[in-house]
Amino acid sequence: MNDVDIPEKLRLRLADERQYVLPAHGSGGYRWHGHVQGDSVRVSVDFEDADSVREPPARVHSVAQVVTIVAVQMGDAVVLLQERRSWETAAAATLRIDVQVRSADDGEGD
């Protein structure tokens, strides 16, 4: 595990879905971007659902982003997550997750 509680390696069964909350630094202009190397998973990075917040915050803060990883076919993939400002060019990934996707009846998902 890294300092944001996202696994560095993930083993999924076909059709599994995992979500992880990413650190929020939006007030500094930072947003998370996701990229996949390989065809076995689909990844999206979205802002946390406002409906999940039960009480308004006591002060203004950054809204968390959530990465969703969905296993769409068997094989291996690498999910690269990068935190950067919109005017910054792409740089090295901030977080890397190695993903293995196996058949639904394999029984060895995380």
Q: What is the pLDDT of residue 1?
A: 37
Q: What is the pLDDT of residue 109?
A: 57
Can you tell me whether residue 56 is helix, strand or coil? coil
CA-closest candidate to residue 37, choices 81, 6, 85: 81
Tell if the pTM clears 0.85, that is, is over it: no
The class level of CATH for 9-102 reads mainly beta
Q: Give percent above pLDDT 70 in the chain.
A: 77
Report how far residue 95's alpha carbon sits from residue 91's, in angstroms, rounded to the nearest whole number: 12
CB contact at 8 A, 83 and 3: no
Domain ranges of the chain: 9-102
CA distances from 21 to 34, 41, 56, 105, 108 (A): 13, 18, 19, 28, 24
The count of residues in the chain is 110
Tens of pLDDT, residues 26-58: 778 888 889 999 999 999 999 876 455 445 554
